[in-house]
Amino acid sequence: MKNRLRDERTARGLSQGELAERMDVSRQTINAVEADKYDPSLPLAYKLAAFFEMPVEELFLNPFKSPSAS
Amino acid sequence: MAITARQKKIGFAGAASVAAATLGGLLIGLGALYLSHAAASVLAAIALLVVFLAMLPRWRTLDHMQQDSRLISWYWGGGFGGGLGLVLALVIAGARSPLFAGAALVWLLQFMGYAVARLRWWLAHRPEAE
């Protein structure tokens, strides 16, 4: 799932390891989610969205919604 | 790169489960060699229980992706490896050999364990009737 996780993380000056520690997941998981190699679980998606203080759909682009609809 | 507290926890839990499995295997092997059948059976059951209990903390420290990777690898890799072992035992030792009987028993028990775990999962995730 395409997302803005890398942009948001780097904007806050966090490394993947630091974000992983705050989310209580492995660094590999953050890396895989950022690279669109793994879709996060719903709780992790919400946890990340809450951490970055934005709606989930702003952080993770809804693949079933056309851009013009938003 | 610094090792996080989480990585340490996973590493420790992993080392503990490997140590428990190694010790359990040794105890079962030695028990089968030096103890009576009944005593060895009890020891094997206890060792198996201890190994599974030792594996629980590691499983619980893994995140969703890490659990997913292990589940998929076990389903496909473990399933194919077990099936291949069964075929090899048949080819090498024949259908009436103890090797094939042992391989078939392991394969059967593995499948039964899978079926029980699957049923338990289904029951736990069954929604309330509307």
CA B30-B34-B38 angle, 5° bins: 95
Residues spanned by the domain of A24: 1-52
Residue closest to B27 by CA, chosen among B50, B1, B47? B47
**Domain definitions of chain B by residue range:** 1-62, 63-130
Residue B32 scores a pLDDT above 90? no
In a domain, A63, yes or no: no
Flag whether pLDDT at B1 surpasses 60.
no
Q: Which of B2, B7, B64 sits opposite A44 (nearest CB)?
A: B64
**Domain membership flag for residue A70:** no
Q: What are phi and psi of B51, to 5 degrees?
A: -60, -45
Q: What is the mean pLDDT of residues B60-74?
A: 93
User: How many structural domains comprise chain A?
Assistant: 1
One-letter amino acid at B23 equals: L
Does the predicted TM-score (pTM) go above 0.90?
no
Nearest to B55 by CA among B97, B114, B107, B15: B15
CATH code, A30:
1.10.260.40
pLDDT reported for residue B2: 63
Residue A21 inside a domain? The answer is yes
pLDDT attached to residue B14: 83
Whether A68 is covered by a domain: the verdict is no
**Which of B63, B69, B70 is the best mutation test for A, with the most CBs of A within 10 A?**
B63
Task: Give chain A positions within 8 Å (CB) of B6.
Answer: 20-21, 24-26
Residue of B nearest to A44 (CA): B64
pLDDT in tens, A56-68: 999 999 888 876 6
Confidence of residue A44 (pLDDT cuts 50, 70, 90): very high
Residues of A whose CB is below 8 A from B72: none
For the segment A49-61, the average pLDDT, to the nearest whole number, is: 96
Kindly report, residue by residue over A8-20, the tens digit of the pLDDT: 999 999 999 999 9
Residue B50: Cβ-neighbour burial (10 angstroms; 0-12, 13-18, 19+): middle
Residue A15 lies in a domain: yes
ipTM (interface pTM)? 0.84
pLDDT (0 to 100) of residue B78: 93
Decide if A6 is inside a domain: yes
B-chain residue closest to A23, CA distance: B63
